[in-house]
Amino acid sequence: MTTRGTGLRILIGAESLADAEAALRLVERLPDRDMTELGGLLLRAADIGAIPRLARQRLVTPGGALLPAPDTPSAGWPAREATQFRARLAAVARSRRWVFQDQPEEIGRIARFTESWDVVILGCRLLHRLPGRVVLVAGAGGASPETARFAGDIARSLGTETATLPNDAQLLARLARIPAAAVVLDLGADPLPGPAALRALIDAARCPVILSRSQPPG
Amino acid sequence: MPDLPPEKLRPRCDPATLPFRTTDELPDDSDLIGQDRALEAIRLSAEVPHRDFNLFVLGPSGTGRHAASERLLRAQAAQRALPSDWVYVNNFDAPHKPRALSLPPGIAPRLRQAMQDLVNDLARDLPAAFDSDDYQTRRRAIDQEYGEKQEGAMSDFADRAKSEGVALMRTPMGFMLTALRDGEVLKTEDFDKLPEQEQGEIEEKIARLQEELAEVLRQAPKLERAHARRIEKLNAETASRTVSSRIEEFDAELRAIDSVARHIEAVQQDIIAHAALFLQAAAQGADGGFPGPLRKFHEDPAFDRYAVNVMVSHAGENGMGAPVETEHDPTLDRLVGRIEHVSQMGSLVTNFTMIKPGALHRANGGFLMIEARQVLSEPYAWEALKQCLKTCSVNITSLAERMSLMSTTSLDPDPIPLNLRVVLIGDRRLHALLVMLDPDFADLFKLQADFEESVARDDDTNTLYARLIGAYARREGLRPITAGGVARVIDEAARRAEDNTRLSLRLGQIGDLLKEAAHYAGTRDAPHVEAEDIDRASRAQDRRAGRIRDRMQEAIARRTVLIDTGGAKVGQINGLSVIGLGNYSFGRPSRITARVRMGAGKLVDIEREVDLGGPLHSKGVMILSGYLTALYARDVPFSLHASLVFEQSYGGVDGDSASSAELYALLSALSGVPIDQGLAVTGSVNQAGEVQAIGGVNEKIEGFFETCRARGLTGTQGVLIPQANVEHLMLADEVVAAVRDGQFRVIPVAHIDEGIALLTGVEAGQRDDKGAFPEGSVNARVEARLRGFAEARRDFMRRPDGTGGQL
């Protein structure tokens, strides 16, 4: 993680515009000095084309509506939503530098990006507007001071507080029951989870997951 | 009738009859004199408790109407208790209808300050309360409770689905459920290999769980609402504790007033409901010079809703002293108040703090003095004033609203009950017009105070007048006036009253004279104002205003205007007229000529024929016809054709003051007896030949005197005036001196016969026992001429050659 004096380079990865929007809202509340560059990354969603199609199977919207399951599910981004993501990213970046990658990536390749960006935020749409805390996942040695401070900054910007959870076997079960506004994972203390574990983390958190490096990229 | 002696021409006030040397010795008594009738009306209006006994003070300007009315009203007001204070406060239920609160006198500013203190204190206390550990802990507990409810429900569902072998998959559009086998998502080809029954069971499960998931997700908004209500309740409790605690410290005396107590209760509820306003204000930081504790939060427009708009407040010793207001510019807004607007984002907005009081608010409980002409000339002001008096309330409606010119946010404030006495000040003509044309006027203004223009002159009133003058001099910081000076002023007052038995009560004019005289006294470093200063001021005033008069006299002197002041002529006489220029008037002679011949009894008023004669003048001329027909040759038809004209008259002529002169000219023309051109005549005449009083007698005499003096006084020149006008004489000193020296004459005349004899030197003649006038007399000659006309007319009608006919 870079020092506060120079600001952070933050990359937002999202599988949908709604997920991206949740991450963008976190970023736009950060003080200007905390960010020097903003990036946008399209992520492919979980492939539902391989799951069996059942006659009574439905898509359940976040609002609780039941819709017919899509005939040709696609893990890609509709062009229109990608354009909107890009536009929102540019708006949030304001005068700062920003980059946008319009070729979708698999979440499995996220490690490439965590190495070249200070912070990678994996967007995830919030299912409700109830306030939640910023959960800092601390490894065995605890979170680095930079990451803890970053988590605190986000919490302050959201008007909430931080909660720390140990990165153990009960993490997902605990996360699933905690109302969280964001989950911060310190990549300096813990290794980047694999794609499945990362998805499981996001599914349990049901909020943006922040992957933070405590050391500047090499 | 003998000539008038000099002392009759200007009855002077003798300084020796005045009981002082200078006005310094006089008591400071400035009570009006001679205005008892008017003052009684003012007192009655001030004292009578019933509504609509409003007052119209009428009379000419300069009679002390304003000052006297105000003095009496103030005296009465001082004995009345202070009226209530009135404020407007926010109506939290209907902000467009601000509430009017009545408060004990002097309390309104205290309430305003108390509310400002309340706002300032709460703007500090409330943020502190919401920032406290207690509040934050309770708030977090609620947040967590509801967050965990929702997350717990989702988590429970995920666990339940997993236990039933169903996976929850997140997609960009939402969630999909699919079968799990050995912890992994079952692919299509594996699913197809399952027995049909198992496939059906899985589908059944997924269908059921979909419904459950949908229900869980649908619970989120409900939980959010429940959470919001809990937070609102917590906020209300927190705010309520803080606000209640502060309001308990609110001024107990103010809270003891019912209307204030009710308002404070409403304020309390509103602050609790809008505590966020206070948090936002505090969050804006300490903009401005002072840090937080000294910051005046009440100046923030956001807190206007708790302001107290003081419309009127009264403070006075011992709780006594009703207001006496004078509105010099009684526009609608200044009378009934106005509602101001400010521009915000391009539109005009307002609120109850922008209600401004009018004169009616300020005078409520007391007296309001207004110039009648001004209030009548201001659009809608008179209508609004009447409406307020009729309804006994002040209802603020702007001119734009009345005329439907403005369609923007406006207010409908509570009307404020009205209990006051309106005093209109105007002239008699205006009063008469209002009585005639405005049906409401008599109902609303039941009293009139009619100011006299003059007062009877005697030693007592002379002394009272002197006191009045002395008080005026003291009030205006003028030098004291000597008894001689006062006597001169009294003479001037009689002159201005146009009556040597009365004194003018137009104190404004007299005051102006005194000020100018005091100035002249100052220029000569005199300690007192003397008679010579008054005299100088009077002459200076006359000179300043007399330019037109001088030009006219010059035209006569140069014979541009033909006036004879010597010799004798038939059918020609010097009449006298007065020319008024604003508040200055002067007299001038006019040549009047008459021509006669046989005719059919027609007297032609040439002025009237060319529309230069007014109705009164025409009436005077027609009276002459009546006089002639009644007096002469009554046994034959009236066979005169005569014409009368004001020579070189290029403006209008009105009034009948020249009718006697016109009759003299006619008699001269008919009798052939010439008239002495050294004499001039004024006076009207009736059908019996009696000479009647006219106005402006002094100016008329002085006008002819000036003409004669310019040509050289002969001692035979003079003016015939009506006997009834002798009491009106207050002639200039020059005229009096000329009469005293035998160079000019003023001759009173009671009847035409006296006048014609004076003018012609021939007796008029009275009928003897046989009904005949003495031979050679004017009347005999006139009768003979008229009879001659009748006979000639008869002969004309009888001509055998047929050339005669209808005349």
pLDDT in tens, B259-307: 999 999 999 999 999 999 998 888 776 555 555 566 788 888 899 999 9
Q: Which of residues 123-142 of A touch B (CB under 8 A)?
A: 124, 127-132
Q: Provide the residue range defining the domain that includes A80.
A: 8-212
CATH number for the domain spanning B661: value is 3.30.230.10
Active site residue B657: yes
- Within 10 A of B676 (CB to CB), how many other CB atoms are there? 19
Residue A217 pLDDT exceeds 70? no
Q: Going by C-beta distance under 8 Å and a sequence separation of 6 or more, which residues neighbour residue B742?
A: B715
pLDDT (tens digit per residue) in A91-148: 999 989 999 998 899 998 999 999 999 999 999 999 888 889 999 998 877 888 889 9
State the CATH number of the domain containing residue B516: 1.10.8.60
CA dist B311 and B322 (Å) reads 16
Instruction: Find chain A residues with C-beta within 8 A of B227's C-beta.
Output: 130
State CA B619 to chain mean position distance.
38
Same domain flag for B384 and B491: no
Interval B349-397: pLDDT, tens? 899 999 999 999 999 999 999 999 999 999 999 999 999 999 999 998 8
What pLDDT shows up at residue A218?
42
Classify residue B471: in a domain, yes or no: yes
Shortest distance between the Cα of B197 and any Cα of chain A, in A, equals 14
Q: Are residues B653 and B778 in the same domain?
A: yes
> Predicted confidence band at B803 (pLDDT cuts at 50, 70, 90)?
low
Domain boundary among B451, B470, B505: B451
Residue B687 covered by a domain: yes
Residue B704 lies in a domain: yes
Last residue within a domain, chosen from B398, B425, B451: B451
Residue B205 lies in a domain: yes
- Which among B190, B214, B243 is the end of a domain? B243
CA-based torsion, A195, A201, A203, A208: positive or negative: negative
Q: Looking at the complex, does the CB of residue A21 fall below 8 Å from at least one CB of chain B?
A: no
pLDDT value, residue A201: 93
Is the same domain home to B612 and B647? yes
Count of CB pairs separated by less than 8 Å, A with B: 142
Please report which helix (H) or strand (E) contains residue B367, including its range. Answer: strand B367-371
* B411 and B435 inside one domain: yes
| Beta-carbon separation of A66 and B158 below 8 A | no
Residue B606's Cα: distance from chain center in Å? 44
Angle at A17 between CA A14 and CA A22, to 5 degrees: 70
Cα B755 from Cα B743, distance rounded (Å): 20
Q: Is A218 part of any domain?
A: no
Residue A3 lies in a domain: no
Pairing of strands B55-58, B421-426: parallel
Assess if residue A217 is contained within a domain: no
* 8 Å CB contact of B174 and A132: no
| Total domains, chain A | 1
Predicted local distance difference test score (pLDDT) of residue B286: 52
Residue B294: what pLDDT?
A: 67
Check CB contact under 8 Å for A59 and B220.
Answer: no
Pair B591, B574: CB distance under 8 Å: yes
Whether B8 is catalytic is no
Q: Does residue B286 lie within any of the structural domains?
A: no
Residues B477 and B620 grouped into a single domain: no
- Answer yes or no: is B606 within a domain: yes
Residue A206 in any domain: the answer is yes
Exactly one of B410, B649, B657, B777 is catalytic; which is it? B657
Q: Is A193 on the interface with B (CB under 8 A)?
A: no
Check residue B6 and give its pLDDT.
95
Predicted local distance difference test score (pLDDT) of residue B218: 94
DSSP A37-90: EEEEEEEPPP--TTSPP-TT-EEEPTTS-EEEPPSS--SS--HHHHHHHHHHHH
Contact list, B143 vs chain A (CB under 8 Å): 130-132, 179
Quickly list DSSP for B212-224.
Answer: HHHHHHHHHHHHH
In a domain, A1, yes or no: no
* Among A51, A59, A66, A161, the residue to mutate for chain B (most B Cβ within 10 A): A51
Query: What is the band of A2 on the pLDDT scale with cuts at 50, 70, 90?
Result: very low
Nearest by Cα to B696 from B541, B573, B539, B579: B579
**Residue A80, in any domain of the structure:** yes
A41: β partners: A13, A101
pTM, to two decimals: 0.74
The total number of structural domains in chain B stands at: 4
B510 in Cβ contact with B555 (< 8 Å): no
Read out DSSP for B475-486?
HTTPPPBBHHHH
Confidence class for position B689, pLDDT limits 50, 70, 90: very high
If you average pLDDT over residues B457-478, what whole number do you get?
Answer: 91
Task: Note whether A79 contacts B: Cβ–Cβ < 8 A.
Answer: no
pLDDT at position B106: 93
For the cut 90, the answer to whether the pLDDT of residue A43 exceeds it is yes
Give the model's confidence band at B410: pLDDT under 50 very low, under 70 low, under 90 confident, else very high: confident
Chain B residues close to A71, C-beta within 8 Å: none
- Examine residue B801 and state whether it is found in any structural domain, yes or no: no
Q: Which residue has the higher pLDDT, B28 or B174?
A: B174
Q: Give the model's pLDDT for residue A74.
A: 62
Residues B668 and B576 in one domain: yes
| Domain shared by B660 and B756, yes or no | yes
In the predicted model, what is the mean pLDDT of residues B415-426? 95
Q: Tell me which residue has tokens 């201001």.
A: B378
> Are B620 and B533 in a shared domain?
no
Residues of chain B with pLDDT > 70, as a percent, come to 97
Give the structural domain span for B523.
Answer: 12-33+453-547
- Is A2 contained in some domain? no
Mean pLDDT for chain A overall: 88
Q: B531 with B485: CB under 8 angstroms?
A: yes
Give the range among B107-121, B243-257, B483-497, B633-647 with minimum mean pLDDT.
Answer: B633-647
Decide: residue B106, CB within 10 A, 0-12 exposed, 13-18 middle, 19+ buried: middle
Asked whether residue A48 is assigned to any structural domain, the reply reads yes
Asked if the model's pLDDT at residue B65 lies above 80, the reply is: yes
